Structure 1
């Protein structure tokens, strides 16, 4: 009977193992999330493995040879593969898939220079400003009217939203 099993892969070879297993008609699941990384002062979304070096595979050990999987390029060994293999409950895989889908961050808030923004936290909560530009380290500059003068403030991107 087909079940999910956990495959340990060689370091940074999870995708290679997944491709080679697909060529053998073995279903697999590689949980990937989007992470914000700062490179050269710009924030970029990059794919990051939820479980580095691990791949979930769905197969029937009575139909597919375990040694065939172990000899797949990029793969190392099936976890818990001794005399009796221990399958992973389908509900666990479904929960992981559900959480990965929920984790998708906003790619961009769509705020452009000149847009009106509102503070969502901090001492200026609910007050409005004008977005000027993005700065490194998850910060940005806004133009804020205070006491009849326009001041340039450096604030956390998470503390503003587009109006």
Structure 2
């Protein structure tokens, strides 16, 4: 890593190690962010809501220096940083803020890897998600809001009342 730039980056982890990596980063005083959603799990004898990662095998990390870079990659369970070519990919602050807004304020959030044709561009005008850009698409025979996460090649699907939206 020749030139370091402070900011948000993305660590790819072993499957089911996201929470362990995030906890260990916190112990090392490295800022991390693991977006989660509530999911209803069914077993043969019970049902329970659990917090599961919104993006399985990914943890967002705020690196301030090279030392935090090396400490974070040495954690058991972390595999590598997401790269574009030879350079680790930096995540914009706006993207992190959008994910935080969605996970804290939207009631239902789904993640999809499917391709969606571009929809009508909208901006959320009211509520806690005000200012967030999104698209209106058809999903499961319903009008749904789509927020594209190009770096992860995934889309966030959420629902909001129509009164909260304005044209972009």
- Displaced runs of 4 or more, over 6 A: none
Matched, 1:84 2:87: yes
Structure 2 stretches of 5 or more lacking a match?
109-168
Q: Superposition RMSD on alpha carbons, in Å?
A: 2.2
Report what 2:124 is aligned to: none
Q: Distance in 2 between matches of 1:39 and 1:104?
A: 24
Q: Given the two structures, how large is their TM-score scaled by the length of structure 2?
A: 0.54
Matched, 1:15 2:19: yes
Q: Given the two structures, how large is their TM-score scaled by the length of structure 1?
A: 0.55
Q: CA deviation at 1:32?
A: 0.6
Structure-2 change in CA distance of 1:49 and 1:7 (3 Å): same
Report what 2:30 is aligned to: 26
What count of residue pairs does the alignment treat as equivalent? 104
Q: CA deviation at 1:86?
A: 2.5
Determine if contact 2:10/2:89 at 8 Å carries over to the other structure.
Answer: no
Q: CA deviation at 1:104?
A: 3.9
Q: CA deviation at 1:82?
A: 6.3
Structure 1 stretches of 5 or more lacking a match?
106-163
Larger Rg over CA atoms: 1
Determine if contact 1:70/1:77 at 8 Å carries over to the other structure.
Answer: yes
